[in-house]
């Protein structure tokens, strides 16, 4: 056998051996994709309803994705609110993985978090396993599953690139409460509302937005953590609306790490109080102007918008421990969160 041919044969054998390792790894991805596939749906919104009912300038996607889950013994479809954009059930069509189509019985929405839940009564709906988004770490592998450009059950692979992404400019979407997961898994138009899945096949997020100059995926996608999504969804189903927590303070929007270091804070982050409303939960707890809130309910506070998110997503009536910085030392206060009017 000529030397060149022998070298090619040897190289081919090496590749077979090395490929087996990667094939074992990809088997996990294949299994997760196979498990989640039957739970993912294609969501279409009738453009005529969009034109008639959407506020001027409001962009409502004509197509997106969703995922079937089981909550309190019933099946629902979770999706991103901007996908359906306030359109009534008769203007929405949901296509299952097996090709069946139906319209939702009822829709619940929360524009501030981009959460939408659709009630469904079709038989044989397969619910997705639900994961714990609080356990995610940067570097964890995830799959984004959905219908980009109408291509149903498309799967892309990536990692969690970041957590707690806030203050994103999402145009006029109305999404004020942001605590997004960031991923480099390709997310394109039509993916919105579909699940972000870990390698166990569990839903850990609902895709909602991308950062892109072209309108297509550039490796910076965002998803609502499933724990946050479910907390809002359960309130919508049980109460028909979401109650927001209220503290009763005005915060310093200019306060940042540099000023925190100047004050000698134990950590260069937090939210500085510049006003306390009379007879508010904050006043009752003893918060004062100049206090810097370092922790809320055991969660380190990064900045003013982070504290607003934490408070807003806390049920009214819940007692929460605050760690504050006052007079060059940390103190602990307890506050009973009020209800935002």
Strands (E), 81-189: 92-95, 101-102, 106-110, 115-119, 141-146, 154-165, 180-183
Q: Give the active site residue among 65, 110, 114, 312.
A: 114
Gyration radius from the chain CA atoms: 23
CB 294 within 8 A of CB 300: yes
**In this structure, is the dihedral angle defined by the CA atoms of residues 88, 192, 67 and 154, taken in order, positive or negative?**
positive
H or E, element range at 209: strand 203-210
The whole-angstrom distance between residue 286's C-alpha and the CA centroid of its chain comes to: 33
CA distance 267 to 139: 25
Phi, psi of 10 (to 5 degrees): -65, -40
Alpha-carbon distance values, 118 to 11, 79, 106 (Å): 54, 8, 6
Structure tokens at 243: 């109650």
CB 329 within 8 A of CB 266: no
Catalytic status, residue 192: yes
CB 158 within 8 A of CB 185: yes
CB 257 within 8 A of CB 268: yes
205 Cβ neighbours under 8 A, 6+ residues apart? 133, 142, 181, 183, 195, 196, 223, 224, 225, 226, 229
Structure tokens at 21: 């390792």
**Chain position carrying tokens 């994961």:** 131
Q: Give the active site residue among 65, 152, 154, 192.
A: 192
Q: Give the active site residue among 65, 82, 173, 252.
A: 82
Catalytic status, residue 17: no
Kindly list the catalytic residues.
82, 114, 192
């Amino acid at each position: 056998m000529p030397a060149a041919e022998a070298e090619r044969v040897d190289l081919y054998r090496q590749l077979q051996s090395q490929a087996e390792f990667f094939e074992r790894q990809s088997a996990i991805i294949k299994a997760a994709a196979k498990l989640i596939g039957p739970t993912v749906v294609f969501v279409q919104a009738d453009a005529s309803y969009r034109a008639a009912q959407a506020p001027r300038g409001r962009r409502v996607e004509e197509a997106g994705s969703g995922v079937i889950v089981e909550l309190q013994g019933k099946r629902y479809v979770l999706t991103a609110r901007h996908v359906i954009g306030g359109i009534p059930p008769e203007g929405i069509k949901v296509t299952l993985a097996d090709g069946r189509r139906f319209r939702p019985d009822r829709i619940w929405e929360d524009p501030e978090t981009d959460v939408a839940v659709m009630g469904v009564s079709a038989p044989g709906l397969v619910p997705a396993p639900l994961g714990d988004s609080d356990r995610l770490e940067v570097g964890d592998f995830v799959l984004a599953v959905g219908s980009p450009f109408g291509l149903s059950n498309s799967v892309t692979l990536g990692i969690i690139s970041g957590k707690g992404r806030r203050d994103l400019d999402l145009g006029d979407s109305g999404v004020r409460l942001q605590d997004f997961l960031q991923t480099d898994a390709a997310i394109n138009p039509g993916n919105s509302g579909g699940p972000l899945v870990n390698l166990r096949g569990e839903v850990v997020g609902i895709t909602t937005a991308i950062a892109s100059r072209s309108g297509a995926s550039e490796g910076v996608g965002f998803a609502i953590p499933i724990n946050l999504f479910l907390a809002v969804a359960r309130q919508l189903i049980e109460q028909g609306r979401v109650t927001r927590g209220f503290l009763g303070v005005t915060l310093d929007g200019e306060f940042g790490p540099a000023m925190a270091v100047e004050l000698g804070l134990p950590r260069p982050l937090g939210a500085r109080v510049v006003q306390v409303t009379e007879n508010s939960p904050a006043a009752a707890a003893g918060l004062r102007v100049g206090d810097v809130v370092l922790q809320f309910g055991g969660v380190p506070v990064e900045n003013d918008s982070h504290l607003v998110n934490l408070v807003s997503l806390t049920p009214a009536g819940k007692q929460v421990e605050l760690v504050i910085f006052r007079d060059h030392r940390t103190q602990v206060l307890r506050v009973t969160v009020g209800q935002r009017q």
